Amino acid sequence: MRRALLAAGAGLAARELVRRRAGYDLRGKVALVTGGSRGLGFAIAGELIAEGARVVICGRDQERLERARALLAARDGDVRAIRCDVSSRAEVERMIGEVGRIDVLVNNAGVIAVGPIETTRVEDFEEMHAIMFWGVVYPTLAVLPQMTGRGEGRIANVTSIGGKVSVPFLLSYNAAKFAAVGFSEGLRTELAGKGVSVTTVVPGLMRTGSYVAALFKGQRRTLYSLFTPLSATPLSTISGRRAARKIVAAIKRGDPELILTAHANLAARVNGAAPATTQRVLGLVARSLPKAGGTEPVPGWAIDPRIDDSALLTFGRKARADLNQP
């Protein structure tokens, strides 16, 4: 019996290895990327087009969405843009019905919210969950019946290292990302053997220019001046284009998880091995950051243009221009 089990296990492992090497052929497949009008989503859409996929992008800003469509179409891409707020179940179901067949779903839509707990309201948690948890659940449940019916499909859920390690001053964001990670990991297990593969993408800091779209509370100028260099320098980040290439490669292979950047990998491992120590260290970080301040969220681009012009943000400005950011 033991030999039979070992042989069966070896056979399954060999079949999995062959399947991964062959990869999922994206040519002619229809891929929907939520939050595809800018930043990482825009980069992922471009990589999918390069693989021969027919791409649909969605977002809330109609003007930016149309600009993204035009930029992607200029690469000889088969691309369609649909305005949709993924926090609305009705809008998501309308969009899925309009698109029809979807072979690949990339749940990428999100927003970063920075500020101390003293400035965070219940409504902030509700908004973050609406976008980054329900905005993952609604599209997924809408496409699952057709994918499982065909016995084939790919789903990638872009979460965050903030869904593995709860970083100070990002509590409402972290909570939503933790929920998304749990949903994504559990979904993969439930779909085992049904032909639909789910990849949980866990990015660390990326150079996508997203700091201008992040929402800040508290002592906004101070937090913005601390946050932006960390998210814009090559030493602490991965470029949006490189991240997109890795994500599309993971989708093709059907990987269960992709953690982007060595820093994020290290943080996840240390937190898993020594959570109490990690929380004590992060507690010291939180105590050193400025408390209180304004309670209304302000986007980064509206805080102080002099910070945006800093030499420290040279790579950030390049990413903004390259990835259709505000």
Could you tell me the CATH number of the domain that includes residue 298?
A: 3.40.50.720
* Domain count for the chain: 1
- As beta bridge partners, residue 34 has 58
Asked if the structure places residue 294 within a domain, the reply is: yes
- What per-residue confidence (pLDDT) applies to 7? 57
Asked if the structure places residue 217 within a domain, the reply is: yes
pLDDT of residue 18: 46
Residue 138 known to be catalytic:
no
Tokens of 54: 């027919």
In a domain, 315, yes or no: yes
What is the C-alpha to C-alpha distance for residues 93 and 86, in angstroms, rounded to an integer? 9
Domain assignment of residue 293, yes or no: yes
The active-site residue out of 24, 138, 173, 224 is 173
Helix (H, G, I), strand (E, B) or coil at 152: coil
The domain of 111 spans 23-320
> Does some domain include residue 266?
yes
* Amino acid at the residue 268: A
Q: Is 270 left (phi over 0), alpha (psi -120 to 50) or beta?
A: alpha
Nearest alpha carbon to residue 106 among 213, 192, 198, 178: 198
Q: Is residue 70, in this structure, part of any structural domain at all? A: yes
- Spatial distance between the Cα atoms of 203 and 170, rounded to a whole number of angstroms: 15
Cα 249 to its chain centre, rounded Å, is 15
Residue 23 and residue 253 in contact, taking contact as beta carbons nearer than 8 Å: yes
Query: Does residue 10 belong to any structural domain of this protein?
Result: no
**DSSP E strands, 121-227:** 153-158, 196-203, 206-207, 215-218
pLDDT at 82: 98
Residue 51 tokens, joined: 């693989």
Per-residue tens of pLDDT for the chain, all 326 residues = 566 556 555 555 545 544 455 599 999 999 999 999 999 999 999 999 999 999 999 999 999 999 999 999 998 889 999 999 999 999 999 999 999 999 999 999 999 999 999 999 999 999 999 999 999 999 999 999 999 999 999 999 999 999 999 999 999 999 999 999 999 999 999 999 999 999 999 999 999 999 999 999 999 999 999 999 999 999 899 999 999 999 999 999 999 999 999 999 999 999 999 999 999 999 999 999 998 899 999 999 999 888 888 888 999 999 999 999 97
